[in-house]
Chains A and B, each alone.
Chain A
């Protein structure tokens, strides 16, 4: 699980060009949107593709994304539950 969180942090930093951030700067339980990392709706779309491309998980309705992308932890939980 920790390995997955670590991997996700790296992927998110790369995909979203968060070049000033290091993995250790990101709290797995901190909110990704709004306060925490301050991501926005375009980032959410980027993360949807990240899940599809790297983990083979397809989110059909963008409305579902909100809950899945609450934090790195919720993303990891979702991946674990849905990965075939």
Chain B
């Protein structure tokens, strides 16, 4: 059984909600250590009476979900599966500060109820009146991958014909400070091209990516999903190579059938070590994405959106491809992602 991406949408630092935009204007080095999302006009996607209570992440998630539905030409789906690494940081921060500052008095419910991790999935269900299966995964940088695995399993089980699957994460001033002081985020003066970085820390980002997937292809189909694999951790680059080889064998592809690898280098010289070594030895064209979207727990959504776009357009943007060699006839793209060398994931999509 094949699984198709029939619609998708992405909010990121760049103007990815504009269907015509494809990074034509972008250089290889971001100008900041924090890539804040470029937001659409949310009122185009969410009714005013729902929007007034929504925080940044909820608006990003719900509107991206709605845009994905629109791009698939759908008004309803059988199931909604979402992921988030950090959840609703703005609301959590707001409620926590209110609680601590006022000695647990004068608290209001809105930020509390919207701090739950399944707020986005619940709000989308509410908006499109979807009574179907509704799950939210919160497994750090594998949150989206596990959501996608579940969505694919629902299709295989014939429990659903179409599933809306996606993930979202936000960076708030508090979270920035927390990660910056913890040495996770790069100092501004250390920002370099991520594929050639010798400094510590990553460029932090945020964003949302949603996908309408189905067992049935439509005229709007972008690509088909060949496989997704989550890896709890690896000891060295060799192990990553072995995981990739066995993954490719599982999905029935030879290594030389992979047209392009999207590598999840974050620009942190320490935790990129294994993936950089892998990139050097795998002997395939390597492109990068985290200089465009930043590092966040569900950055894989951006990578998948980018890969599906590359396959449909048959164009590799110069901004992501340091080799600048011509890659023609893009058949299969492999995404290799990780977060600070903890958990790794592999995703492969193919041209239809």
A residues in contact (CB < 8 Å) with B: 15-20, 38, 42, 45-46, 49, 52-53
Contacts and interface: CB of A to CB of B under 8 A. Distances in A.
Contacts of A46: 108-110
B52 A19 contact: yes
B110 A42 contact: yes
A20 B47 CA distance: 13
A42 B106 contact: no
B88 to A, nearest CB: 16
Nearest to A41: B109
A53 B53 CA distance: 20
Nearest to B48: A20
A46 B222 CA distance: 45
11 contacts: A15-B108, A16-B52, A18-B52, A38-B49, A42-B53, A42-B109, A42-B113, A46-B109, A49-B107, A49-B108, A52-B106
Interface string B106-119: 11111001000000
A70 B107 CA distance: 22
A74 B106 CA distance: 22
B148 to A, nearest CB: 32
Interface residues of B, number: 10
A42 to B, nearest CB: 6
A4 B48 CA distance: 28
A17 B53 contact: yes
Interface string B95-133: 000000000001111100100000000000000000000
A17 B52 contact: yes
Nearest to A45: B109
Nearest to A15: B108
A41 B128 CA distance: 21
A45 B52 CA distance: 16
Nearest to A21: B52
A15 B109 CA distance: 11
Interface in B44-82: 48-49, 52-53
Given A20-B48, A42-B113, A49 B53 contact: no
A32 B263 CA distance: 53
A5 B49 CA distance: 23
A16 B53 CA distance: 7
Contacts of B48: 20
Contacts of A52: 106
Contacts of A53: 106
Given A16-B52, A42-B109, A52-B106, 19 more contacts: A15-B108, A17-B52, A17-B53, A18-B52, A19-B52, A20-B48, A38-B49, A42-B53, A42-B110, A42-B113, A45-B108, A45-B109, A46-B108, A46-B109, A46-B110, A49-B106, A49-B107, A49-B108, A53-B106
A37 to B, nearest CB: 10
A77 to B, nearest CB: 23
Contacts of B110: 42, 46
A36 B111 CA distance: 24
A53 B102 CA distance: 11
Contacts of A38: 49
Contacts of B107: 49
A69 B239 CA distance: 64
B193 to A, nearest CB: 41
A58 B106 CA distance: 10
A53 to B, nearest CB: 4
B7 to A, nearest CB: 30
Nearest to A18: B52
A38 B50 CA distance: 11
Contacts of B113: 42
A79 to B, nearest CB: 16
Nearest to A53: B106
Contacts of A45: 108-109
Among B52, B106, B108, find the residue whose CB has the most chain A CB atoms closer than 10 A. Answer: B108
Contacts of B106: 49, 52-53
Contacts of B49: 38
